[in-house]
Amino acid sequence: MDQLLLNSGFPILSVLIFLPMLGALVLLLIKDEENCRWTALAFTTVVALLSLTLLSGFDSTTARFQFVEMRPWIEAFNINYTVGVDGISILLLLLTTLIMPFCVLVSWTYIKKRVRAFMICMLIMETAMIGVFVALDFVLFYVMWEAMLIPMYLLIGIWGGPRRIYASVKFFLYTLAGSVLLLVAIIWLYMQNGYSFFIPDMMWQSYSTSAQMFLFLAFFLAFAIKVPMFPFHTWLPAAHVEAPAAGSVILASLLLKMGAYGFLRFALPITPEATAIMMPWVLWLSIIGIIYGGFTALAQSDMKKLIAYSSVGHMGFITLGIFTLNLDGIEGAVLQMINHGVTTGALFLCIGMIYERTHSRDIESATGIGKYMPVYITFFTFFSLAAFAFPGTNGFVGEFMIIAGTFKYSLSQGNFPWLALASIPGAVLAAAYMLRMLQRKIWGREHNPDNSWLKEHDLNIREIITLAPFLLFVLWVGLAPKPFLNIMHSSVSALVQNFATCQAKAVAIAGTILN
C-alpha cells in the first residue's frame, strides 16, 4: 500500500468519472435538441474545470498514486473500486477532460439527427475513458476498457459516413478480439497475486520468464491493436474515415492513447523481462509503422484517411519512445501522446469544419480555399506544422526527445544507431504529406471546384473558440515544455529505475543459476 496516497477529502476522481454519466441521465429527461447541446457542453465543461483542480493538489515529486479512493465492490472475488492517478495518467486524464468540451462544440451543427442520443454517447464515452485512465483495479480497468467500445461503436455506426456499418463492426470486433487474452492474463495475475486485482501489487513481481512472455503477448495483442501498431492498424483508417468529426477526434486523440498507456502501465511494470526480450522486435515494428504510415499517407486523396495514416506513423514514434526504455524516450513518448492528441484532434476538427461546408473530404474539392478562408487556413497551417514536428511547435519537442532516446538506447547497447536513423525518413515523410495537403489547400488551382462561395463562410466564433485553445497549446508545449515534463518526471523516472533494478535482479538470478 505504500504506492498509494489515499484521498481523505473530496472524492474528486469518482466525481470526474460519474459526473458525465449523471449528465447522460439528465439528458434522458431533456427533449429539446438545443438544450441537449447546452447540457452536454455544461457537463463536459464542469468536468474539465474540475479536473484542472487536480493539478493544484498534485504532488509531482513522488511517483506514488494520488487522490486514491478505495471501496470494496465485489467482495467474493476481492474486487475493489480503486482509482488513483500518477504523473503519467494525470496528463492523459486532463487531455481527455479538456478535449471533450471541444468535441461537443464541434458537433453543434455537424450532428443534425438524434442529437440527444449523440450527446449521451459522448458523455458515456467520457466516463469510460476517464475510468480507464484512473482505474487501479484490473477488473475496473477491464470493465471501462470494454465499455468504451459500445458508445464508440454507436458513434461511428449511427452518425458516420456511407460505409459506417462496415467500419463500426470492424472497429468493434477488432478491438474486442484484441482483449481476448487480456482477460485471461488478468485472471492469471489474480491467481498469482494472492487473489488480488490491485494493479500496483502486480507490478515488479518476479514471475517466471515463460509466464512473462505469455502475459506480454496477451498485453501486446490488446494494446498493439488499440495503438494501433503496424500489422494491426487496418481498423483505424476505416473507423476514422467513417466516424463523425467528434468521433474521429475522440478516436485519434484519446482512444489510441489507451494502447500506449496500457504499455506503460501494464506491459513494462508487470512483465519487465519479457519486455526486455521483445524490445528489439517492437522497436523495429514501430519503425515499420512510421515508414509505412508515412508512405500510405502520401498516397491518400481523402484528407481524413491521410490524417488516419499519419496517426499510424505518429503512434509508431510513440511506441518507439516507450520501448527505448530510457528516461528521454518515455518522457518524449508521453509528451508526444499529449501532443498527438491535441494536434491530430485539431486537424480532425478542421477537416470536420470543411466537411460541414463542402460535404467532401477530398483534397481536390478543397483546393485553393486559403484565399477565401484566411482564418481557417491559419489554424490549419499551424496544426499541420505541429503534425510534422516543425521546431517551435509541440510535435518537435516530443519527436526530438523520442529520437534522442532512441540514440541513447542504441549507444548504450554499443550499437550503431540504426534505429534512430531509420526513424528519420518518417519525419521527412510527415513533412512531405502534410505540406502536399497544405499546399493544395492554400494555393491549389481554384478553378477545379469553385470554392469562392466559401468567402462568406469562414470560421464563426464558435469554431474559433473551439480551435484557439488547441493552437495555444501547440505553441505552449513547443516553446516551454518544462511544466508538462515536470508533472510526469517522477513517475517516469521511477518506472525506468524500477525497470533497471528488475533487469539487474534477473541478470543476477540468471548468474547464480549459471554458477
Partner 1 sequence: MHDLVSFLPLVITCTGALLLMLYAVCPKAEQEKASLMSMGFFAVAFFAQLLVVCTVSRPLFPETFNGMLGVSGFTNAACLIVYACGFFTTLSSHTYFRENHFATVEFYSLLLFSAVGMVLLSMARELITAFIALEIMSLAIYVLVGFNRASSRSTEAIFKYLILGAFSGAFFCMGTAMIYGAAGSTRFDSIAEWLAFNPATTPLMLGGAFFLLITIFFKISAFPFHAWVLDVYDGSSNPITGFMATALKTAVFAMIANFLALSGNLHDSWITGLFWIAVFTMFGGNLIAIGQDNVKRMIAASGIVHSGYLLIALVAINSEYFSGAVIAYYLAAYSVATLGMFAALSWLGGEGEKRVTFDDFKGLAKRQPLAAATIAVFLLSMAGIPPTAGFMGKFYIITSAISAGQIALGVLGIISSIISMWYYLRLIVSMYFHDAEEDFIVDGSSLASISTVALAVAVFAIGLFPLVL
Residues in the chain: 515
Q: Which stretch binds partner 1 (CB under 8 A): 142-150, 335-343, 406-414, 440-448?
A: 142-150
Residue 388 interacting with partner 1 (CB under 8 A): no
Q: Cα separations (Å) of 249 from 167, 243, 309, 360?
A: 16, 9, 14, 18
Helix (H), strand (E), coil (C) string for 156-207: HHHHCCCCHHHHHHHHHHHHHHHCHHHHHHHHHHHHHCCCCCEHHHHCCCCC
**Cell of residue 49, nine digits:** 474545470
One residue of 187, 213, 404, 464 binding partner 1 per CB under 8 A: 187
**Contact positions with partner 1 (CB under 8 A) in 105-134:** 114, 117
Give the separation between CA 139 and CA 467, rounded to whole angstroms. 37
Contact track, partner 1, 50-89, x by CB under 8 A: ------------------------x-xx------------
Min dist. Cβ of residue 147 to partner 1 (A): 5
Nearest to 20 by CA among 149, 127, 163, 174: 127
One residue of 6, 52, 55, 176 binding partner 1 per CB under 8 A: 176
One residue of 183, 288, 327, 421 binding partner 1 per CB under 8 A: 183
Q: Which stretch binds partner 1 (CB under 8 A): 163-171, 292-300, 405-413, 429-437?
A: 163-171
Please name the helix (run of DSSP H) or strand (run of DSSP E) that holds residue 65, with its range, or none: strand 65-74
Residue 29 interacting with partner 1 (CB under 8 A): no
Q: How many residues lie near partner 1 (CB under 8 A)?
A: 33
Min dist. Cβ of residue 72 to partner 1 (A): 11
Cβ contacts of 208 within 8 Å, gap of 6 or more: none
Min dist. Cβ of residue 501 to partner 1 (A): 30
Q: Cα separations (Å) of 337 from 190, 215, 322, 397?
A: 30, 24, 11, 12
Residue 22 interacting with partner 1 (CB under 8 A): no
Min dist. Cβ of residue 150 to partner 1 (A): 6
One residue of 191, 461, 513, 514 binding partner 1 per CB under 8 A: 191
One residue of 188, 284, 295, 372 binding partner 1 per CB under 8 A: 188
Min dist. Cβ of residue 464 to partner 1 (A): 34
Interstrand relation of 4-6 and 65-74 (parallel, antiparallel or unpaired): parallel
Nearest to 146 by CA among 184, 190, 178, 176: 176
Query: 483 with 57: CB under 8 angstroms?
Result: no
Min dist. Cβ of residue 245 to partner 1 (A): 19
- Residue at 494: amino acid letter: A
One residue of 25, 52, 184, 468 binding partner 1 per CB under 8 A: 184
Give the separation between CA 442 and CA 426, rounded to whole angstroms. 24
Residue 172 interacting with partner 1 (CB under 8 A): yes
Q: Where do contacts with partner 1 occur on this chain (CB under 8 A)?
A: 74, 76-77, 114, 117, 139, 142-144, 146-147, 149-150, 153-154, 157-158, 164-165, 168-169, 172-173, 176-177, 180-181, 183-184, 187-188, 190-191
